[in-house]
Each structure stands twice: as C-alpha cells, then as structure tokens.
Structure 1
C-alpha cells in the first residue's frame, strides 16, 4: 500500500510532474527531506514527503517565495495567511499591469515620444494618495493664501482624481494632462487671480457662495440665443442680456445698472481662462464622471453682449 511505500526521486518525479533536478534541489534545501535511504545510498521518500512536495509545487506555482513556503511547511504560518497575503500582493501586480497596458495603448494611439511615454508611465504609477496630494498642493498654492469662496475650495478638495483599477487609455491621458496642468506656472497664476478676486468680493460682503441656478439660467438663455443665431450686439441680443443682468442683480443684491454690467464683464474676464474649465473636464474623465458641457461659448457670447450694450 502507498501508506507504507517508499519512493525514489524518480518515482516522485513521475507522480508529481516535477523534474528530478527540482526535487533534488528541494531535498538538498531541507524543504522535502528524504525519509530514508536505500542500501545503496539512494534517497527514499514516504507518502508524507509526497504530500509535502505537492504543497510546495502548488505554492510555487502560485508565485509564493521559497522562504515563505518553508515557513508554511514548518507551520510558522498557515496556508490561509499566506494565501491572503499573496492575494493582496497579486492585486497590486494586477493593478500595475493594467496601468502599463493603458499607458502603452495611449502611447500607441497618440504616437508619443519616448519622453512622453516615460512621463505617462511615471505619473500613471502614482497611488491614489499621491495623486490626491499633487492636487491638494496645487489648491494650497493657488487658494491657500486667500479667503476665497469656501464652497468652491471645498468642492475642489473633495474632487480628487482616482484612476480606476483598469483605466482606459483616455483616462491615463487625461490624468497626465491634468497633472501637467496643475504644475503649469501660468495656470497657477491665473487661478491665484481668481482666488484673489473672490477674496476681494467676499471682503466687500459677497457671501452668496456658488451659483449653480444662475449658471444654468445663463446656459439656457444664451444657449437659445446661440441656437437661434442671435448676435450679441443685436437688438434681440440686448433683450437676452437685459433678462440676464436682472437675474444677476437679484442674485447679488445689486442695482441693475451700467456699474453692474462693468462688474459682470470684469468677473467674466477674471474667470475666463479656458484652462479652468479644462481642469474640470479632465478630472471628470479620470474619475469616469459625465463630462460637463462646456460654458466657453456661453460666457463668450455674454461677454460680447456686455461690451456691445454697456448700459446707461
């Protein structure tokens, strides 16, 4: 019976599919020591050694290091503990492979240079925490010294870029562009001007916060004007502008006069950097959120209308 049988290294090789050389290595290393020796000095192994060898092969096939295999066999750690730790390690490796695949696909689609590929790979390998710190540093540098709109700053801090486990090439590209944008000195200076302007407005008593409803009103009114081909300088354009300035006056508690229109035009100029809108579009792409509809044409039309109809 097998329970009483002893096997040579050749027998073990035939039963396990391992090579004689591999089994001899495990035997020499003391991982699967021989049970006995034949009269002529050949190593012999019992059923327990065969089972031990099967476990070694299984763990090694799963990528478990030999030193860890030895600890399992010596009962220093359990198989379940090793399995859990190894599964965690594999998760990291799988995520890394997914990122590499996404980077390579993005490089192939863009026809990137070697330098661009290196940058994409380096930035894509950042952890979620590192990505969050990069954006947090950008916000601290641009808004940190000013008492700007707290709702906007809180929204920016909450909207951290998080690449999914298996990102699409477009998400990797968006993250790389976003990272480059946050490090652009000119963009940082532009955002600081926005923060400084907001702080000055708050010092003058503006605590109205964000204005999502007002923005939607502008989007709808100007959107209809754009769809109808209404020129900003036309009589019809003036009527659209009148409705909008009335809404701005109501929201901010100001008189609907020429001063309001000058103030609004300056406000649009300060916030008119298209890179600010690009920032939110890239962030949405990275995180897999719906990309917001661009407001550039809308506020461009409104600015032209304000220049054409400065009021009395």
Structure 2
C-alpha cells in the first residue's frame, strides 16, 4: 500500500493473487470502485478494496456470474435465494454429468457394430433428461374429456422420472423409452386409448376406479396374496374393482354378459405400443412403485381367464 493509504492497481492485484487485467475489469464493471487517481492518472483504491476484491474472487470461484456478484456486493451479504439458485444449477449440471457418464459407459460396453446406432439413440436424449416426450405421448393416448386433475394423477403414475443415479442399463432403457414416445404415432394407438366402446361414458369415473383397482392389485401382489393368472383366473378383490370401474363409467351393472363384452375392450387398451412402453418403463420405476401397465395386463388376463372358464 502506498504512503497515502491507497492501493495501486498492481499492488491490489498482487495482494489478491489476480492479474491487473482482472482488477481493471472489475473496476470497469463498478464492482471495485476507485478511491482516487494519481497525478499521472493511475487508479488508486481505498483500504477496504483488498477485502472486497478477495470476496469477489471467492464468489467467482463458486461460479457465481458477475451480475449475481454485483447483487451480493450491493446487499453486503450473500442472499439465500442466490445460493438456492446456484445449488439448483450445480445439481442440474451434476445430473447431466452423471447421465453422460452412464451413457458413455453404455457405449463403451456396446459391441462395435452396434455403437453408432446406440450413440444416435443416447444422443437424442437431452442431459439431464426430462419427461416432456413421455408426457406428450400419454396426452395423445388419454381419452378426451378427462379432467385436468385426473390427467395429472394419471401422468404421475405412468411417467417414470429419469433415474437420479443412472446406470448404463437404465440410461439405455430410458433412451429407448424416449425414442418410442418421440417416434411415429400409429392411429391404432389412439384407438386403443379409448377404453370403452363409443358412446356416453364418464372417463373420470373410469380412471378413478382403475386407480383403486391397481392399488388393490399392487397391495395383493406385495402381500403375496395375488393368485397366479392362468391357474385360478382371479386376482383377489382387485378384479371385481377393475370390472366395476368400467361398469360404473358406463352406468351399467356388472354382469357375466358385461364381463364377456369387456374382454375385447381391455385387450384393446393393451396394444403392442402400450405393451412396448411398459416393458421399457418397468425398470425405471423406483422400488415399491407400482407399474400400472403390468397390473393392467394381469387384471386383463385374469378377466379373460374368468370369462373363458365360465364359457359354455
């Protein structure tokens, strides 16, 4: 520090361990105000300039952008919302890096002849990945007339979140699911989404009833009480709840004739495209999360077995 108690730009830079160019940049941005100029026009900085410069350097080392550093200096402290924003940004970048690492390992493990195709598949998924393509897929499948609340509940149940700790296998499954959801959409898929024959029915009643049936089926499965489809034809009380959902949506009674007519309806909702979706998605749901597609398939098979067993 010079005799007048002020720092020259070179002394300040040396004290903070940065370049003169850096000090000049922060001065020009207004982050480091000058206290005076020498008789020769050189910049001079006050006694507190070194502490301020060290704070600026520390904030930049934490990767805070210069505008955010300005906000911190103006408030004479680090606002909690600034830290929260940076933590979210860092978390997003870490998620992207974890995803990219798993994707690269998947490519490394891939046979040479398949590597180019797999690279195109994995490269089509943004890092970190999102679920927009999967949500659009289901919005095209779900029947018209569902309330926003029911649509949200369905989407929460059928769209798996990208794995937080991705493995090469899970990254590959998610990329294949993303490709399926983003690809051509056969008209048959839309038709299969209409879960009841044409006519007036209450779709919200149907989907609320199906949610209850799937919950029962999942509970029976976890408790080991679910009977094997193809041997007894029943899946506990879940099957009755499953059928009742369709009957209530149409405002009719659950009868043997209704059950016979329901078999092709539920089969139509179990199309090749939907089965492919659930096959790829099954491993992406967390432990204990119900895979609704598998539960639907088992209940449909149980209904078919029951109807076949009662056929004359």
TM-score normalised per structure 2: 0.61
Counterparts of 1:33 and 1:53, CA distance in 2: 12
After the TM superposition, which residues 162-173 of structure 1 pair with which residues of structure 2 at under 5 Å, given as runs?
163=161, 166-169=164-167, 172-173=171-172
Counterparts of 2:263 and 2:179, CA distance in 1: 30
Kept after mapping to 2: 8 A contact 1:95/1:166: no
Kept after mapping to 2: 8 A contact 1:13/1:23: yes
After alignment, is 298-307 or 55-64 more displaced?
298-307
After the TM superposition, which residues 228-307 of structure 1 pair with which residues of structure 2 at under 5 Å, given as runs?
240-241=232-233, 253-256=253-256, 259=257, 262-273=260-271, 275-276=273-274, 279=277, 288=286, 290-292=288-290, 294-295=294-295, 296=297, 299-300=300-301, 303=304, 306-307=307-308
Which is helix-richer, 1 or 2? Answer: 1
Matched, 1:49 2:34: no
- After superposition, the C-alpha distances for 1:26-65 in whole angstroms (9 at most, x for unaligned) are 5577635364537x87655441333333333233333344
Structure 1 residues 171, 10: closer, same or farther in 2, change over 3 A?
Answer: same
Q: Where does residue 141 of structure 1 map in the other structure?
A: 140
Counterparts of 1:54 and 1:89, CA distance in 2: 20
Which one has the largest radius of gyration?
1
Structure 1 residues 275, 25: closer, same or farther in 2, change over 3 A?
Answer: closer
Kept after mapping to 2: 8 A contact 1:32/1:53: no
Following superposition, the deviation at residue 115 of structure 1 comes to 1.6
Q: Which secondary structure state, in structure 2, belongs to the residue aligned with residue 88 of structure 1?
A: helix
- After superposition, the C-alpha distances for 1:255-306 in whole angstroms (9 at most, x for unaligned) are 44xx466425424432333653564676676563634363556755764675
Counterparts of 1:193 and 1:248, CA distance in 2: 22
Counterparts of 1:10 and 1:25, CA distance in 2: 13
Structure 1 residues 4, 54: closer, same or farther in 2, change over 3 A?
Answer: farther
Q: Where does residue 119 of structure 1 map in the other structure?
A: 124
Counterparts of 2:160 and 2:126, CA distance in 1: 16
Structure 1: give runs of 5+ residues left out of the alignment.
Answer: 227-231
Matched, 1:156 2:154: yes
TM-score normalised per structure 1: 0.61
- After superposition, the C-alpha distances for 1:192-215 in whole angstroms (9 at most, x for unaligned) are 334153555848xx9793361885
Kept after mapping to 2: 8 A contact 1:136/1:157: yes
Q: Where does residue 95 of structure 2 map in the other structure?
A: 98
Following superposition, the deviation at residue 95 of structure 1 comes to 0.7
Counterparts of 1:188 and 1:96, CA distance in 2: 38
Work out the number of aligned pairs and report it: 284
Counterparts of 1:289 and 1:142, CA distance in 2: 26
Structure 2: give runs of 5+ residues left out of the alignment.
Answer: 248-252
Q: Which secondary structure state, in structure 1, belongs to the residue aligned with residue 34 of structure 2?
A: coil
Structure 1 residues 152, 13: closer, same or farther in 2, change over 3 A?
Answer: closer
Counterparts of 2:261 and 2:52, CA distance in 1: 81
